[in-house]
Amino acid sequence: MRYLVLALAYSLLAFAVSEVRGDDNPLDAVYRSLDKWGRNVRQQLQEEATPTPAKKRIHHHSSTLQHHASPSPSPKIRSKEEEADDTPKAKKSSGDDEEDSSPQKHAKHRAKSEDSNPEPTPEEAPKPSAQNQPVAVSSLDPSKLKDFDGQPPGVQDLIRSALALTQRNLAYTYGSADPASGGMDCSGFIYYVLSNSGFKDVPRQSSDQYLWVRKNGNFHSVLSRNANTFELEELRPGDLMFWSGTYRVDRDVPVTHVMIYLGKEKGTNKRVMVGASDGRSYNGERRFGVSVFDFKLPNGAPNKSDPDLVARFEGYSAIPGLREEVYSVKSATPAPTPVAVIRKAPLPEQNPFLPVKAPQPTPTPPKLITNGD
């Protein structure tokens, strides 16, 4: 196309020169016609070139030629915008990228797990870590518990102490048993509550607390996954509850979680418990920290992040010495019934040396006889 245009231009130019030699008027006419023809050619070339930048193939060629050709105004503008976009990325180091991307990963992962299961079962509780989740806890007034008023005083005091910690906005802190640090883990919560309630020699770890109640208490194993199983009929407020398989451990007794049973809520009649957790739920919402939680039996499904892990509810037991101590108190011994003492009149003094005389009959007065007057 380019050669055709040059040929036409050359022929018209030669014709114009020949006409100029004869007359001046043909030059003006040829000049005007040539100018008009040139504008038409440029317009056609612009119309043909306009749609080509939208094509990817031509766009890549233009970007490739940009490195070799001299810069034009439009490429300069694009390069400044690209440099502006790349500047923040160049300033970030690899460590910054990991720090910035990791919270997004965790948030995305939590959103995905919440969408797939809005009420997570206990076996999906994540492995404890030193990195605390944002605190999100729930509390409960003891008067909202169905069987609270019928419990012995020692059990009531224990439940009040445990629920008081749920009002302090404590996080789940792995390895902590002190609320002054801002949080506690599950076994640390049990250790703190029992120690402050006067129990001696309470173990610190959940597996050791399990062995403690197995040796000294009345443990009830649970194999069923049905919430209405008869195996839960002996479950009482204040009992300790134990799980295994909530995260991977290397222990002789692989118990990994423990909580205190509170009883059933009034109105809903559902079982609730109290303790420290980093992912269980209460009323359909996930809780993180020292809180009240719904009691649900694991469904037996493998852990999503670790298929080799299967959570299991091992069972429950009364705290050694809690109920036994309460029920061993004897009632006060009643006062003896007073015995009535009957006093007899004193007998007349008798001489032991005199013979005892038989009692004489009382003499009858004589009857007088008259003449009938």
Q: What is the pLDDT of residues 115-158, one digit of tens each?
A: 434 344 443 344 555 455 789 999 999 999 999 999 999 999 99
**More confident site: 159 or 370:** 159
Would strands 312-317 and 240-244 be described as parallel, antiparallel, or unpaired?
A: antiparallel
**Residues 120, 286: contact at Cβ < 8 Å?**
yes
293 Cα distance to chain centroid: 9
Q: Indicate if the pLDDT at residue 221 is higher than 80.
A: yes
57 Cα distance to chain centroid: 53
Band of pLDDT at residue 237, cut at 50, 70 and 90: very high
**Residues 295, 241: contact at Cβ < 8 Å?**
yes
Task: State the amino acid at position 92 in one-letter form.
Answer: K
pLDDT of residue 45: 72
pLDDT of residue 226: 92
Residue 133: both structure tokens together:
């989740």
- For the chain, give the mean pLDDT: 74
Band of pLDDT at residue 180, cut at 50, 70 and 90: very high
Q: Indicate if the pLDDT at residue 165 is higher than 70.
A: yes
Q: How many CB atoms lie within 10 A of CB 157?
A: 15
**Residues 163, 292: contact at Cβ < 8 Å?**
yes
pLDDT of residue 44: 73
Dihedral angle, C-alpha 67, 73, 79, 83, nearest 10 °? 140
pLDDT of residue 166: 97
Residue 367: both structure tokens together:
């009857």
**Residues 168, 180: contact at Cβ < 8 Å?**
no
- Alpha-carbon gap, residue 213 to 223, rounded angstroms: 18
Task: State the amino acid at position 164 in one-letter form.
Answer: A
What is the chain's alpha carbon radius of gyration, rounded to the nearest angstrom? 51
- Alpha-carbon gap, residue 143 to 261, rounded angstroms: 15
Which percentage of the chain shows pLDDT scores above 70? Answer: 54
- Alpha-carbon gap, residue 95 to 141, rounded angstroms: 46
pLDDT of residue 305: 87
Which percentage of the chain shows pLDDT scores above 90? Answer: 45
Q: Indicate if the pLDDT at residue 225 is higher than 90.
A: yes
Find all residues with CB under 8 Å of 58, minimum gap 6, and list them.
52
**Residues 293, 274: contact at Cβ < 8 Å?**
yes
Domains and CATH numbers, the chain: 2-80 (no CATH), 120-327 (3.90.1720.10)
Q: What is the pLDDT of residues 43-92, one digit of tens each?
A: 777 776 665 555 445 444 444 444 444 444 444 444 444 443 443 333 33
Q: What is the pLDDT of residues 290-343, one digit of tens each?
A: 999 999 999 999 988 889 899 999 999 999 988 865 444 445 556 667 666 666
Helices (H), 122-245: 153-165, 186-196, 206-216
**More confident site: 45 or 216:** 216
Q: What is the pLDDT of residues 284-293, one digit of tens each?
A: 999 999 999 9
Q: Indicate if the pLDDT at residue 36 is higher than 60.
A: yes
**Residues 53, 66: contact at Cβ < 8 Å?**
no
